Every structure is written in structure tokens, then in C-alpha cells.
Amino acid sequence: EAGVVQSPRYKIIEKKQPVAFWCNPISGHNTLYWYRQNLGQGPELLIRYENEEAVDDSQLPKDRFSAERLKGVDSTLKIQPAELGDSAVYLCASSLGPSNTEAFFGQGTRLTVV
Amino acid sequence: AQRVTQPEKLLSVFKGAPVELKCNYSYSGSPELFWYVQYSRQRLQLLLRHISRESIKGFTADLNKGETSFHLKKPFAQEEDSAMYYCALKGAGSYQLTFGKGTKLSVIP
């Protein structure tokens, strides 16, 4: 079992450019989370999916961030356009269901905006 | 609002010494508390949760509702315990994990 797979691992882009992150959760996990972790901080939730439905996106900056989870499996998080302050590690996690307390995390994508 | 505070950014101890990583929380109801660990170049993973009342890798944590704390303890630190440790809270009826800023534990040989 590979666990939660994220790609790319690292991404460097210039400000105002678009960027996308991809996540493949553990097979059978219905709940998928995207977190952002700024340097020196703990992860902060951006969005949570139950199957293909975004059930909690209250902390997603919707002016430039978007996410989708087609067919309730893989998910993509996009930023357009990126700003310097978006530099962070973007973590994807999945769990069997919303009430299941253990979330399994991917390795993360480290984004640097220059 | 729910909040998790880890007052120490860095904690250095000698091998064999006791370890206590502090975690305090703010939440009005009955929370679920967790400790996550991230070893060097590895992904974030669950270490233990208070409802299980278990000991993992020699670590224990007791939820103290009076002091709103969930400190992580180990009687004898090992070099392989060196890692980032994050305390996290999930409020009753909530599916959102709120993390602290983390404490970097460094065990000196």
C-alpha cells in the first residue's frame, strides 16, 4: 500500500503563474482533506471532501484557489494566480469516513513562489 | 473557537532522560485530542489519541480537562524519537483537526 500519493513533491513558480497539485488517496477512503502548512506552523485545513462533494471549504481562499475531486477519488488543488504568500507545503490526507478519527497524510508538495 | 498551543518550538534532551512535550488547548466542549509525529523526510502520521489510552513507542498522553492539557510523555528518550511533534484537537461533532505549531524534539546521544 503506497498510502496517500501526492505530486509533484516540489514546485517553484513565479508569482502570478498558475499551479496545480494532485492527490491520490488511499483506496476506499471516502474523505479527502487538503491542508496548507506554512513554515513554522501546523497544518491548516483548506477543504474537505466527502466522496466528490466539498462539504467544508470555508477556509479556502476562493478568489484564487479551487479544488475538485472528480469521481470521488483523485483530487486536484489549483492556485491561479499564485502569490508570494502562497509559498507553503500543501498536504493531502484521507480517511475512511468523516467520523473515522485517523487521517493518513501524503508527503506533501512544497511550493515556492518567487 | 478551538485552539491548540504548544509552547516550546524546540526541546532538547539527552538520551535516556525523560521527555515531556506540552500541549494546551482551548475548547468549550469535550474535544478529541491527538498527537501526530513527523520524522525526518517522512510524512505526518498519527502517534496516539486520547480516547485509546494507549502507549505507542513508549509515549503516553493523558487528557487533563481541568488544566486543558494533553502533554506527551516518555520516561526514557531514544535517539529515534527525534522528530517534529504536533498536538491536534477535534471538536465534538466537528471533522476538522486543529493543529498546534509543533515542537521539534532533539534527543542528544
Contact A112, A12 (CB under 8 A): yes
Q: Does B45 contact A43 at a Cβ distance shorter than 8 Å? A: no
Pairwise CA distance, residues A113 & A82, whole Å: 7
Burial class (CB in 10 A: 0-12, 13-18, 19+), A40: exposed
pLDDT tens-digit series, residues A22-65: 999 999 999 999 999 999 999 999 999 999 999 989 899 999 99
End-to-end CA separation in angstroms for chain A: 36
B52 pLDDT more than 90: no
Q: For position B94, what pLDDT does the model report?
A: 77
Q: What is the phi-psi region of residue A80: left when phi exceeds 0, alpha when psi lies from -120 to 50, beta otherwise?
A: beta
pLDDT bucket at B2, cuts 50 / 70 / 90 = confident
Q: Residue B21 in contact with residue B85, Cβ under 8 Å?
A: yes
How far is residue A51's CA from residue A32's CA, in Å, rounded to a whole number? 8
Contact A101 B100 (CB under 8 A): no
Q: What is the pLDDT of residue A100?
A: 64
Q: State mean pLDDT over B54-76.
A: 92
As a whole number, mean pLDDT of residues B84-98 equals 88
Is 90 exceeded by the pLDDT of residue A75? yes
* pLDDT-above-70 percentage for chain A: 97
- Cα–Cα distance between B82 and B76 in angstroms, integer? 13
A1 has pLDDT over 80: no
* Residue A47: closest C-alpha in chain B: B96
Residue B89 has pLDDT above 90, yes or no: yes
For residue B99, count other CB atoms closer than 10 A to its CB: 21
CA atoms within 13 A on the CB side of B55: 7
CA distances from B109 to A48, B20, B52 (A): 41, 18, 31
Contact status of A40 with chain B (Cβ, < 8 Å): yes
A58 and chain B in contact, CB less than 8 A:
no
Residue A102: DSSP 8-state: P
Cβ pair A105:B44 closer than 8 A: yes
